[in-house]
Amino acid sequence: MSQGDLSGLYVITDTTRFQREALVEAVSEAIHGGARIVQYRDKSEDTERRRDEAAALAELCRHHGRVFIVNDDVALATEVGADGVHLGREDAPLNDTRARFQAAGLDAIIGVSCYADRPRAERAAAEGADYLAFGAMFPSPTKPHAPGAPADVLGWAREHLGRPVCGIGGITATNVGDLMTYQPDMIAVISEVFAAPDIRAAAESLRWAMAGGRPDPI
């Protein structure tokens, strides 16, 4: 996988709602609904469950030709053969993370959360981040206290930083159109897909809205 694969609907797992086989089924439904990138995010200390779930999702994504990212955990990403990791403000430095993958002989995708912090985004791009995520774009049920990010930061990043850009936080099929004028490469969601009664339909609706009501190829 490469930067060229970083586009479209990006789903982040909700392991408070789904675990083990139910999680794999939920992600499978999201993929069939059009998700192109999957991030495994689980902050628990249940090492065995995390390993089992990440391994199963890595296999699922390989089968469907989707990008599979692990939140923060380089060791887990390496163990299960993930395509890369995503780093937040409290996670390991990008350069150290890159060095760990290189030591394992891997050319991994590394994404970085930039919030609304333009200097942070500039540093991450200069250090070789493979994509830059900005948000929260709207109030987020997953992180209700997350500070907001202006939509135009997406356009600024595309114009100035030369990296794929992702919008995240409180995005729905109803409001995503407000972001698409800035042409983000990816839109990342948790609740809009995984809290929906029909996960596949929710992913399809969001993908349709991202495309301005026109069908896009999965």
* Active site residues per annotation: 41, 113, 143
Three state DSSP letters for 50-79: HHHHHHHHHHHHHHHCCEEEEECCHHHHHH
Burial of 129 (0-12, 13-18, 19+ CB in 10 A): buried
Closest CA to 140 of 181, 111, 168: 168
What sign results for the dihedral spanned by CA atoms 190, 140, 111, 52?
negative
Residue 136: cis peptide before it, omega within 30 degrees of 0: yes
Q: Please state, in angstroms and rounded to a whole number, the distance separating the CA atoms of residues 3 and 102.
A: 17
Q: Please state, in angstroms and rounded to a whole number, the distance separating the CA atoms of residues 197 and 201.
A: 9
3-class secondary structure, 200:
helix
Burial of 183 (0-12, 13-18, 19+ CB in 10 A): exposed
The helix or strand, by DSSP H or E, that contains position 193, with its residue range, turns out to be helix 191-194
